[in-house]
Structure 1
Amino acid sequence: MSFLIKCCAGAALAFCSLVVANCSDTKSEIAAKTSSDAEDSNVETAAIFERFEYEGRDPEYLIGKSENEYWNPILPGSYPDPTIMRVEDDYYLALSSFGYFPGLPVFHSKDLVNWSLVSNAIDRPGMLDIDSVSFSRRGVWGPTIEYHNGRYSIASACSDCGGNFIVTADRPEGPWSDPIWLTDVGGFDPMLYFEGDKGWLLYHADPPGGPQYKAHGAIWIQEIDPVSFDRLSEPHMIVDRGSNVEEEPIYVEGPHIYKVDDYYFLSIAEGGTGLQHRQVVFRSKDLLGPYEPYENNPILSQAGLPFDQPNRITTTGHADLVETQNGDWWAVFLGTRNYTEKDYSAGRETYLMPVSWETGWPVIMSNDQRMPHKMPKPDLPEFVADGALLRGNFEIKDEFDTELGDDWVFIRAPETTWWETGEGELIIHPNGERLDNGRQPSIVSRRIQHNFFTAKTEVSLSASNSETEAGLVIYKSNLAYFTLGLVNNELGQAVLRLRERAGKDDVVGGRVLVEKVLGKTGDDNVELSIEMDGAIISFFYTYGDGVPQPLLVNGDASIVSPIRSWDFIGAMIGLYAAAE
C-alpha cells in the first residue's frame, strides 16, 4: 500500500494528514486494494461515497424577501454564543464550537449580513484536550473576540478541559497561538476589555460565600496586563444575581462592556439558554461600578410569548453589540427556530437586529415584540465574498472532487487520518470507534441548517465480505442519533439497516428499527436519503430500477432535538463508516 502526505489548505482542515492510497486510485483499485489488505491483515473494508446533497425546505422562507432585506438567522445552524467586533470597516464574529473540530470559527463581513469563514482559532490537534469531554455539552464555549494594539485576541472557556484561555493572532485569518491558560480565573464566559494601555477581564463565577439558590451567579472583573494577560488586581464583583434581584435571576453570564459617552454599559444574559433566556443591561460612570440596572429590562427576550406558529424564533439572548462606522448600533445574539414549543433541530443560531437608544439605554426589542425572520439591511455597502455562508432555503452538492470544504467538521480532533477525497469520492476507513463510545467515530459531518430538509448520498463498500456499515447519520450526541447504513451479510448480500439511539438507557450501538436485504451483490452504489419535516423523519433508498423506496416513514425526529437532553449544539448530518 502506498501513502501520501497531504497538507490541507482550507480553513476547516488546516493541518497535515496521512492519506491512505494514491490520489490517482480509482474506485475499483481501492476496492481491490482494500479487499487484499483485509485478507492479509484484517483491515476493515472502506466505505466509498460518491456525492452528498442537502436541500433546505423551511416554510418561513417561502414568504420571500426584497433585495433590501436580510434573512434571520444570519448564521443558520449550530453557531451559538456570537461575539462581534469591528476594525475600521471590517467585522468579525467568533462562536462556540463545543467538541467539534476544528473549533472556535471566526467569520468576516463588511455588511453584517453576509459572512465568510476566515479561520478556526482551534485548528491543530493537541491545542485543547477535548477528546474525553461531552462534545455536545462541554468543550469550547462562550468566546469574546477583541482587537488591541495590532493584535486579535479570543478569550474562551474549555469546559472540563482546562478552563479559561486566550488565543492571539496578528491577523484574523490566523495562525492563532496555542492557548494561554488563565489558571487563576474560575468560572466561564471570559470577556476582554481594553481601554487605552490597560486591560480587564470579565467573567461569570459564583458569588462570595457560594450560591444562595440554584444557578445563582455573579459577574466579576479584574485588571490584567494587556500583553501577557497576567492578573494585576484582585477580582471585584460588579453584579450579583442579575437585574431584578428579588426574582432571583439565574445563569447571569456572557458579560460585555461598552464605553458610550460618560457611561460604561454592561450587557449580560440571564435565565439560561432556554425559553426564559433574556438579555439585560446595566450602566455606571465607573468601570468598577456600582452598576444600576435598566428599569425596563430585559432589552431582548421572547419569554412568555405564546407559541402559535411553527419555526417561531425563541430562546433569544447571549447578545453582543457593535457600533458601525456610520454610528449605528447592531446586536448579534443566539436564538432557535422551534418546530414545537420546545423542539428544534438546527441548534442555537446567530441572529442580527438593530439597536435603538431609548432614554440613554440600548434596546434590541421590546418584550412584547416577536422576533422577525426578515429585516431591512444595515446601511452598509453590500459584501460579496467567496464561500459566504448560505441563508434561506438553499441546495448544496458536494461531489468530493477536492479536499473537504470548510462546512465539514469532525467530532473531536482526529488522532489518525481515516478519510480521503478526490476524483469524485470520499473514502472513509473505519477507525475502530463506535458511534456511541464517547471518542471520535468515523463521521464526517456538517451542521443541519433547517428544521425541514432532505439529505442524500450514494454509498458502496469496497469488498463483499465486509463487516463495515456505512451511510447517512443524523447525530446529536453519542446518546442520540439515527443511522441509515449499508452493510454486507455473510452471504455477500447488501443489507440496509436503520438504527436509532434515543438516550443513555437505549441499546448501545442503537436499536435496529428496520433491516432489509436488498438481494444485490458486488460494489454497486445504493442511494440513501433522509427527509426531516420538523418532528417527522423518513428514510428512503434507491437501487436497481432507480425508483426511491421507503424504508421507514413518519418516524419521530424529536430524539435529536437538543432540548430533550439539554445539549448545547444542534444536530449534524453526516457520512459515517463503522465496523460491526
Structure 2
Amino acid sequence: MSTRLPWTADLGNGTYRNPVLNADWSDPDVVRVDDDFYLTASSFGRVPGLPLLHSRDLVNWTLLGHALERLEPVTAFSAPRHDCGVWAPSIRHHDGRLWIFWGDPDHGIFQVNAPRATGPWTRPHLVKEGRGLIDACPLWDEETGDAYLVHGWAKSRSGIKNRLTGHRMRPDGTGLLDAGKVIVDGDRIPGWFTLEGPKLYRHEGWYVILAPAGGVATGWQGALRARNFFGPYEERIVLSQGSTDVNGPHQGGWVRTPTGEDWFLHFQQRGAYGRVVHLQPMRWRDDGWPELGARGEPVAVHRKPELPEQPVSAPATDDSFPRGRFGPQWQWTANPRDGWTVQGGGDGLRLTCVPGEAVPDLRRLPHVLTQRLPAPAFTAEVDLALHGEEPGARAGLTVLGDAYAWIGLERGEDGTVRVVHRFAEQTADAERDAAHPRPAPKGTARLRIEVSQGARCRFGADTGDGFRPSGPVFAATPWRWVGALLGLFAAAPSGAGHASAAVFTRFRTIG
C-alpha cells in the first residue's frame, strides 16, 4: 500500500506548485523570526485554536501545535459554534515575543503572546470588547515608537461592513488608547465592497495595509497606503484571478526572507475543501506599490524562495495514537471536558461513548475529534473496536459539514455489533441509513472513506472478510466559513449505564 503524502507542494526540482497548503488553513498570516517562518490561521469554533505551522522555505510546512488551549469565554463554546470563535488572526514578532491578535465577532478583539512558537502562550487577553470586531492586526512602529491596531467589521453582528477602523494601542498590547477612527471607508472606493482582513505594515515611510475585498469566493487582494496611520489612504488592486483558474485570490500576509526576497501567502476558497493556501512571489515596484504573483495574477508553478533546501513535508494527518494521545492535527468541535478520552495502557485512542440523544446529530456534538481534508483526492482509514454492552452505543468515522455522513459500529438491542452507514442532509434534523446494517461479529472493523475530486466520498468497511463498499457516493459540503472535516466520534443514548468506549487505532491518509 502506498504511504505517500496526500499532497506535497515541493516538486523536487527547485520549483513548487500551488497550493503550498492544500487544506483549510483559512485566512493565513505569516511572520519570520530569524531563519524560521511561522503561520497561523482561523480556527473558528474548533479547539485547540490558533494553529501554528513552521517552515524554513515557505513551501514545506509542519504543524507545531496551537496557541489557544481553549476558547473564551469558556461557557460560550461548550457546544459547537462552527462559524464563531477565532476569525482571521494576525501573527507578529515584537520585543522578543510572538504575538497573535484576532477578532471574535461575538466578544471582541483578543491577543495571546509567547517567547517562542512552542510556548508557553498566555491566556487570551481581551484588548477591545464589542460585537462585530474582526480581523485585528497590530503594528509596532519602529520608526516612531508608536503602536497601532486596525480591524474590520462583521455586519451580521454590528450592522457595519466595508470599513477599517484604526486605533492607537498601548505598547504592551493590553489595550487601546482612543475610541478609534474609520481610516478606510470601502463605500467611498468605486467598485470595492466587503473590505476586510487588513494586515498592517510599515514600508519605506508608508503605512501599508494589505486587505482583501470583493467577497470570499470572487474577490481580489487590495493594497492601501498613507503617510499617516490615520490616513488619507490611496488604494490599488494588486492580485486578482485574471486569466487563471484561481478564484478569489486574497487575504494573507507579506513576509521578507533573510536574503531580502518578498513573498505573499493567501487563500483560495475551494468549496468543501475550505480555504487552501497559495504562495506568490512579491516585489515592490519603483512607484512604491507591491506587485503580487505574475504581473498581478496567481502563479501555478514557480521557483522556490532562495533559501536552504528543506526536506519535503506537509502538516501531519496520520496518527497511531501513541499511549492513547492524539496529535496536533486533531481539534474538538467545542471546548473539551474531562472524560471524553480514557487513558489506558498501550497505543490507540479510547473515546468514551458520551451519553446524549438517542440518535445524535453529529453537527451538534461537542465531542467530535476532527481534522481538515488534506488533499483534493485521498483515502482515509482507521481501525475501530467498540467495547461495552450498552445498546445504542456507536462510534465511527465521518465527513462532517452542513451535511454529513459516517460509517462505524453500533451495538443493537440484542447485544450484537453491526456496521452502520448513515447520513444527514443540510436541512435534515435526523439521520437516515445510507446502507443496510451488516454484522460485525468481532465488534471490530476497518473503516474507509475514499475522497475523489470534487470532495465526492465513497464509504466502505472491512470486518475481516475484505473491504466492501457501502451506500451511494456522498458529496461533502462545507460549513458557512469552514471546509468539511474528517472526524472520529463515540456516543451513546442518554440514560445508558456505565459508559462504553471505542478504541481507534492506525488512522492514516493515503494519496
Q: After TM superposition, is the score higher than 0.5? A: yes
Distance 1:177 1:445 in 2: 25
- Correspondence list, 1:391-430, <5 A: 396=318, 398=320, 400-420=322-342, 423-430=346-353
Larger Rg: 1
Aligned to 1:483: 406
Aligned partner of 1:167: which letter? V
Query: Pairwise CA RMSD of aligned residues?
Result: 3.0
Does 1 or 2 have the higher relative contact order (CA < 8 Å, sep 6+)? 1
CA deviations 1:421-460 (Å, max 9, x no partner) are 6523222112224553765443222211122121112222
Q: CA distance change for structure 1 residues 133 and 551 in 2, over 3 Å: closer, same or farther?
A: closer
Q: What are the equivalent positions in structure 2 for 1:348-427 lying under 5 Å apart?
A: 348-358=275-285, 359-365=287-293, 369=297, 371-372=299-300, 374-383=301-310, 389-390=314-315, 396=318, 398=320, 400-420=322-342, 423-427=346-350
Residue in structure 1 matching 2:214, options 264, 271, 295: 271
The separation in 2 between residues aligned to 1:109 and 1:465, in whole angstroms, is 47
**2:190 paired with 1:246:** yes
Distance 2:369 2:277 in 1: 23
SS at 1:457 equivalent:
strand
Q: Which residue of 1 aligns with 2:448?
A: 529
Q: Is the 8 A contact 1:132 1:439 kept in 2?
A: no
Cα deviation, residue 272, structure 1? 1.8
Q: Report deviation, 1:117.
A: 3.0
Among 371, 387, 402, the residue aligned to 1:462: 387
1:321 aligns with 2:265: no
Amino acid at match of 1:484: I
> Contact 1:83–1:320 at 8 Å: present in 2 too?
yes
Distance 1:159 1:532, change over 3 A: same
- The alignment's TM-score, normalised by the length of structure 2, stands at 0.85
Match of residue 463, structure 2, among 520, 535, 543: 543
Residues 495 and 515 in structure 1, CA contact (< 8 A), matched pair in contact too: no
Evaluate the alpha carbon distance shift between residue 550 and residue 326 of structure 1 in structure 2; reply closer, same or farther with a 3 A threshold. Answer: same
1:177 corresponds to which residue?
A: 122
Letter in 2 for 1:501: A
> Does the residue aligned with 1:221 lie in a helix, a strand or coil?
strand
Equivalents in 1 of 2:194, 2:79: separation in Å? 22
SS in 1 for 2:434: strand
2:481 alignment counterpart: 568
Task: Please list, as runs of the form range in 1=range in 2, the aligned pairs for 1:158-197 lying within 5 A after superposition.
Answer: 158-160=104-106, 162-183=107-128, 187-196=133-142, 197=145
Which amino acid in 2 is paired with 1:455? A
Secondary structure of the 2:421 match is strand
- Label 1:184 to 1:412 Cα distance change in 2 as closer, same or farther (>3 A): closer
Are the counterparts in 1 of residues 153 and 164 from structure 2 also a CA contact under 8 Å? yes
CA shift, 1:366, in A, is: 5.4
- Partners of 2:162 and 2:254 in 1: how far apart? 22
Give the Å deviation of 1:153: 1.5
Structure 1 residue 524: deviation in Å?
A: 4.2
Distance 1:111 1:250, change over 3 A: same
Indicate the SS of the match to 2:375: coil
Per the alignment, residue 419 of structure 2 pairs with 496
Measured in 2, the distance between the counterparts of 1:128 and 1:381 equals 43
Instruction: Give secondary structure in 1 for the equivalent of 2:190.
Output: helix
Q: CA deviation at 1:129?
A: 4.6
User: For the structure 1 residues 469 and 205, does the alpha-carbon distance in structure 2 shift closer, same or farther, using more than 3 Å as the test?
Assistant: closer
Identify the residue that residue 267 of structure 2 maps to in structure 1: 334
Shift of 1:532: 1.7
1:556-578 CA-to-partner distances (Å, cap 9, x unmatched) read: 41xx322xx5x211111122112
2:361 aligned partner, one-letter code:
D
Corresponding residue of 1:31: none
Runs (5+) with no aligned partner, structure 1: 1-52, 307-311, 339-343
What's the TM-score, normalizing by structure 1? 0.76
Instruction: Give the aligned partner of residue 47 of structure 1.
Output: none
Identical amino acids, percent of aligned pairs:
28
Residues 414 and 440 of structure 1 are in contact (CA less than 8 Å); yes or no, is this contact kept in structure 2? no
Judge conservation of contact 2:103–2:136 (CA < 8 Å) in 1: yes
Tell me the CA shift for residue 464 of structure 1. 5.1
Structure 2 CA distance for aligned equivalents of residues 401 and 332 of structure 1: 36
1:57 Cα deviation after fit:
5.8
Change (3 A) 1:390 1:206: closer
CA distance in 1, matches of 2:397, 2:459: 10
- Alpha-carbon shift at residue 92 of structure 1 (Å): 1.7
81-90 or 64-73, which moves further after superposition? 64-73
Distance 1:54 1:141, change over 3 A: farther
- 1:353-388 Cα deviation digits (max 9, x unpaired): 11023342111135884541x321100123459xx5
* Residues 83-232 of structure 1 mapped to structure 2, 5 A cutoff: 83-124=29-70, 128-131=74-77, 135-160=81-106, 162-183=107-128, 187-196=133-142, 197-205=145-153, 216-232=161-177
Q: Distance in 2 between matches of 1:368 and 1:263?
A: 21
Letter in 1 for 2:481: F
- Report which stretch shifted further, 178-187 or 464-473: 178-187
2 CA distance for matches of 1:397 and 1:168? 29
Which residue among 277, 285, 290 is the counterpart of 2:227? 285
Instruction: For residue 282 of structure 1, report the CA deviation from its aligned partner.
Output: 1.6
